[in-house]
Structure 1
């Protein structure tokens, strides 16, 4: 004899329980955390080109280029970088005047997802500081926002602090630019990496830029120690070292930074 079908109310109750179980399972699955995107490793290099022309910088790039994803450039007023670098590089350099051309940011296109336009922020006005007619032009902070492949936006900025002779107390060009760097860092709404010729020992921090901003000073352990980075505390850094000597009197400095996903 065939079994009798379950009563209608029993079948309805069974269906309701099964449906509720499915909803609960879907809820648990949707609440599970999404896969974490790994932090992004980025090779950064800061390089003072020593006011040398296109042929010399082309030679320098044979050392710098293979070791860099982002290059922070200083003393570039004698070279239009976009004229000598290949299509693999995005050049952010204002060539409208010598003073604006001096600091620039260069990004390897394949290393990032998106690159914004250049923004220049004044560091300090031109000055005749010094006693031998060796004054300085207006100095700028060259800023570029870059989106990495893990989705995180960071702010990369290149700058050239005035020479040490330009600091002789409050209101002197070095002190003014240090204050402007601090103000720039404090109002930045993105993780920040500063690459620069600081003209003083990077991690000696004479104007307390690190203490006042929370950025971590990172300079080489030996040799000329005035070129290096200030890095947002959320980023870790490793492998800080000089690259091989170029034609400049400054050896480029490289570090690898790990940038957490957003």
Structure 2
């Protein structure tokens, strides 16, 4: 005997409804255990670093090693001048990356030293000529060729910055247009303008940092940062994107220049 189609359909429809109900319930249960969407990663904060500029006054390893007891604990990046009598990598520990060209006295004079743990990556040293050797028409003597010691550094927030240590000529070489000081000031301006990266320059400027008749700050857009008291010729020029605070002299070392310290805050790229 055969069954008519109608009773079969009547039995099949409830079964289909039950199956659909199970599928819907299972889908809701699965949805309830799916991981929540990952939160958006917050933008990385400004990276803070302590920078120090220090003229070592042409002294040797023992004297500079003593100086570092004052400088080292206060610094992540050190801009060094008058270092022709010391090979810094010979006296500093493995925690420091030394960028100093020791192939000749004039090239050795300015250097950049970076605390390895404070940054992500450190480039190689590049020397850019500041001014040729000159006798400055002075009985006190002239100057050797002076260089801008440049090192690119990647910070922990992934920003690359360009750091540079330099030493402008002394007063006996500051005799107006065409003098060694004016020539090097022009070369510093050209260096800054073609840099392509935000800059931190640390130097013995041999003039009051924020009162420069050669207008390095005005011509480059860099901000001068020098101490308010004492000898005011050591300090920094920084790109306008960088904020600064805690600018002060460190205690006197064996040099006739007191190191100058500052904290910078560098925005993420």
Report the TM-score when normalising by structure 1.
0.89
For 2:201, the equivalent position in structure 1 comes to 194
- Picking from 158, 163, 179, the partner of 1:156 is 163
Unaligned runs of 5+ in 1: 23-28
What CA distance in whole angstroms lies between the structure 1 residues aligned with 2:212 and 2:264? 20
For 1:213, the equivalent position in structure 2 comes to 220
- Picking from 72, 92, 98, the partner of 1:85 is 92
Deviations 1:82-140 (A, max 9, x none): 00000000000000000000000000000011001000000000000042141000000
Residue 140 in structure 1 maps to residue 147 in structure 2: yes
What CA distance in whole angstroms lies between the structure 1 residues aligned with 2:258 and 2:175? 28
Task: Return 66-75 or 166-175, whichever deviates more.
Answer: 166-175
8 Å CA contact retained: 1:116, 1:146: yes
8 Å CA contact retained: 1:120, 1:143: yes
1:26-175 equivalent positions in 2, closer than 5 A: 34-175=41-182
Unaligned runs of 5+ in 2: 1-10, 32-36
Provide the secondary structure at the position in 2 that maps to 1:181. helix
Provide the secondary structure at the position in 1 that maps to 2:129. strand
Q: By how many angstroms is 1:70 displaced?
A: 0.2
Q: By how many angstroms is 1:170 displaced?
A: 1.6
Moved over 3 A (4+): 1-6
For 1:241, the equivalent position in structure 2 comes to 248
Q: By how many angstroms is 1:167 displaced?
A: 1.9
Provide the secondary structure at the position in 1 that maps to 2:120. strand
RMSD: 2.5
| Bigger radius of gyration | 2
What CA distance in whole angstroms lies between the structure 2 residues aligned with 1:168 and 1:64? 34
What CA distance in whole angstroms lies between the structure 1 residues aligned with 2:200 and 2:40? 30
Q: By how many angstroms is 1:34 displaced?
A: 3.3
What CA distance in whole angstroms lies between the structure 1 residues aligned with 2:234 and 2:154? 25
The count of aligned residue pairs is 250
Deviations 1:40-90 (A, max 9, x none): 100000000000000000000000000000000000000000000000000
8 Å CA contact retained: 1:205, 1:217: no
What CA distance in whole angstroms lies between the structure 2 residues aligned with 1:123 and 1:3? 91
